Amino acid sequence: MASLGTPAHVSSNKKPLHRWSWKAKRVRCAVSPPTWREGRRTVSLSLVLSHLLLIPNRDTALASPFDKYVKRKKLDPLEVYIPAVILTEFQIKDLEKTLEDEEPQFALCRSLLRSGPAASLRVNIRAVAQYASDSGNGKTAFNDVDECLRSLEELDSLLLHASRNDPEASVKSMKAKINSALGALDSLLQTVPSDVLSKGKVIADSYREPEDEETGSLDPDLKQLESIL
């Protein structure tokens, strides 16, 4: 306890905390695949995904005496989840393209399933399914969630075995799992209101477009997405 009150010790290593945190965020963005552009939009997406990671688990929420309050906070708003789910679809499709290389980097493909938007896919699609449940489409939506997650887990297992030179882990079987996961995601997104889905596609597309470094500006939809947080 005495060392905490020593001025010399504190001042000798004092650095602005906010500057360190900002650099840390930039480092995390840097490990994303090269096709996932960095910049203000990428940082904005990171903020959205970080927000989603703080949302409590659905099973835990259901067991809580404050279920209605927690569930409402988790599902508000739907617009936050849709762009991230769509971006994950793009990311999975990009992963599939890497499997067409002459010598696919299976270990790298596994890392793609754990980075960027895909890192929060489980939380995102469960939230979308809960919205669908409120609209009477819960059974189909949660089946889509289970199918998607199961396919991606099996894909991850195939990639692991392939990285260890297992001949039974074929690229063909990997693509089959990818198609199954993408099909489930497409089915899940069909439960989303058309206006929300259309807006989500516009926002997701804007993240993949070349960024105008000179203006450094965000379009109104992206600014609105940030303001939600």
* In the predicted structure, residue 74 carries a pLDDT above the cut 60: no
Cis bond upstream, residue 77 (ω within 30): yes
Q: How far apart are CA 113 and CA 148, in angstroms?
A: 13
Specify if 16 maps to a domain.
Answer: no
Q: How far apart are CA 159 and CA 117, in angstroms?
A: 19
For 102, the token pair is 């002459």
Q: What is the pLDDT of residue 223?
A: 56
- Confidence grade of residue 106 (pLDDT, cut at 50, 70, 90): very high
Distances (CA, A) of 195 to 75, 117, 190: 17, 22, 12
Handedness of CA 31, 35, 40, 45 (dihedral sign): negative
Specify if 23 maps to a domain.
Answer: no
For 107, the token pair is 């270990």
Specify if 9 maps to a domain.
Answer: no
The distance between the two most distant Cα atoms of the chain, rounded to a whole number of Å, is 64
Question: What is the average pLDDT value for the chain, to the nearest integer?
Answer: 75
- pTM beyond cutoff 0.85: no
116 closest CA partner among 48, 167, 214:
48
Specify if 10 maps to a domain.
Answer: no
| Overall domain count for the chain | 1
- Confidence grade of residue 41 (pLDDT, cut at 50, 70, 90): low
Specify if 87 maps to a domain.
Answer: yes
Helix crossing, 138-163 with 171-189: angle to 10°? 160
Average pLDDT (69-82) is: 70
* In the predicted structure, residue 196 carries a pLDDT above the cut 60: yes
Q: How many residues does the chain have?
A: 229
Average pLDDT (155-184) is: 97
- Confidence grade of residue 209 (pLDDT, cut at 50, 70, 90): confident
For 79, the token pair is 């617009």
Domain that holds residue 191: 37-228
- Confidence grade of residue 29 (pLDDT, cut at 50, 70, 90): very low
Average pLDDT (13-22) is: 42
